[in-house]
Amino acid sequence: MHQQAETLRTEALALIAAATDSASLEAARVKYLGKSGAITALSEGMRNVAKEDRPAIGKLLNDLRAAVTGALEESQQRLLEAADAAAVSTLDLSLPGTFPASGTLHPLTQLMDRAVQCFRRMGFAIADGPDIETEWHCFDALNTPPDHPARNEQDTFYLPDGRLLRSHTSSVQIRVMETTPPPVRIIAPGAAYRRDEVDATHLAQFTQMEGLYVAENVTLADLKGTLEFFFRELFGSGTDIQFRPHFFPFTEPSYEIDIRAAALGGEWMELAGCGMVDPAVFEAVCKQRGDRVYDPDKVSGFAFGFGLERLAMNLSRIPDIRMLVENDLRFLNQF
């Protein structure tokens, strides 16, 4: 049996060492260790071995098994390594790689970031509200009567359930006062929606930046000072700013702001709406909150709102508003 085992070991190891692929390796395994393999057959001969010889023969067979199994594993590893080496042998590691194309910030995002930075320096926090709004937040609480043209289905997108796509970010004023007692000083950049015919100067979705400051003794001087500082920070100290009396249901008095700056092409442009928060808005908020922290006899405030697209267009000399949403890389790469 010794002799047989020794012969099998030599044969098996030679066959395994000569294997050049995993199929011949598997064939070698089956030949020696398979169900009817040679080593398996030899082990079955144990039955006929004299009792006193069994331990020695058992060890002999175990060693043989271990040697062949080890050789199989080693060869398997060797074949894998050879396959890996073959796979990379045709790679030229000295060739330059392919670089991922890196983008730039959208001109609207760049303007938004600058505006946000400026207001943050003045202590304004960023606030947010849903794009899908209730009529109450978008209109009623903002003192906008049911027959106001903005509430018309021709001007505003209504959902079947009666909610709407907010037609301005002023709804965030209400959202903030509903949940936060004064003083509040927030800006709210975000999308607004109107049923406008899309053309070179109109989109049905555009971007607004809302502002609200409510505390004790906030005055029109605070409103003017804040917005003048902001526009001169953004467009240069030589920027001309004009507050033109106007009407908004939710502010009283109300103004439109026109500015003229070299950076914006040097022409007057109508830019923003603003005013002192109307007492009726504070009353609506008080009623909703169930307390009097926004009592118009105790607090006052200003609000403003402006669109970002037209500003970005003037700043970057963009002739058509649709270019801002087409995602054409030839356009976007320029910023």
By CB under 6 A, name the one of 39, 57, 234, 303 that touches ligand PHE: 303
By CB under 6 A, name the one of 39, 107, 305, 308 that touches ligand PHE: 305
Q: Which of 166, 332, 314, 127 is nearest to 239 (CA)?
A: 314
By CB under 6 A, name the one of 304, 312, 318, 324 that touches ligand PHE: 304
Nearer to ligand PHE, 32 or 250 (CB): 250
Task: Work out whether 274 is an interface residue with ligand PHE (CB under 6 A).
Answer: yes
Nearer to ligand PHE, 107 or 273 (CB): 273
Pairing of strands 269-277, 300-307: antiparallel
Could you give the CA distance from residue 191 to residue 130 in angstroms, rounded to a whole number? 9
Nearer to ligand PHE, 32 or 206 (CB): 206
Could you give the CA distance from residue 284 to residue 178 in angstroms, rounded to a whole number? 10
Place of tokens 């001109």: 107
Judged by CB under 6 A, which stretch of 29-37, 88-96, 109-117, 301-309 contacts ligand PHE? 301-309
Which ranges of the chain does DSSP label H, i.e. alpha helix? 2-18, 22-33, 38-44, 54-88, 107-121, 135-138, 171-179, 220-235, 279-289, 309-316, 329-332
Task: Work out whether 172 is an interface residue with ligand PHE (CB under 6 A).
Answer: no
Cβ atoms of 218 and 301 within 8 Å: the answer is yes
Cβ-Cβ contacts under 8 Å for 104 (sequence gap 6 or more): 332, 333, 335
CB of residue 178 to ligand PHE, shortest distance in Å: 17
By CB under 6 A, name the one of 129, 189, 190, 275 that touches ligand PHE: 275
CB of residue 173 to ligand PHE, shortest distance in Å: 7
CB of residue 121 to ligand PHE, shortest distance in Å: 21
Q: Which of 47, 131, 322 is nearest to 331 (CA)?
A: 322
By CB under 6 A, name the one of 166, 168, 175, 185 that touches ligand PHE: 168
Could you give the CA distance from residue 48 to residue 70 in angstroms, rounded to a whole number? 28
Nearer to ligand PHE, 239 or 251 (CB): 251
List the Cα angle 197/273/208 in 5-degree steps: 55
Residue 68: what are its φ and ψ, rounded to 5°?
-70, -45
Q: How many residues bind ligand PHE (CB under 6 A)?
A: 10
Print the binding letters for residues 233-272 with ligand PHE: x by CB under 6 A, - otherwise: ---------------x--x---------------------
- 182-211 residues in contact with ligand PHE (CB under 6 A) are none
Nearer to ligand PHE, 256 or 324 (CB): 256
| 111 three-class SS | helix
Could you give the CA distance from residue 209 to residue 207 in angstroms, rounded to a whole number? 7
By CB under 6 A, name the one of 37, 107, 273, 301 that touches ligand PHE: 273
Residues that bind ligand PHE (CB under 6 A): 168, 170, 248, 251, 273-275, 303-305
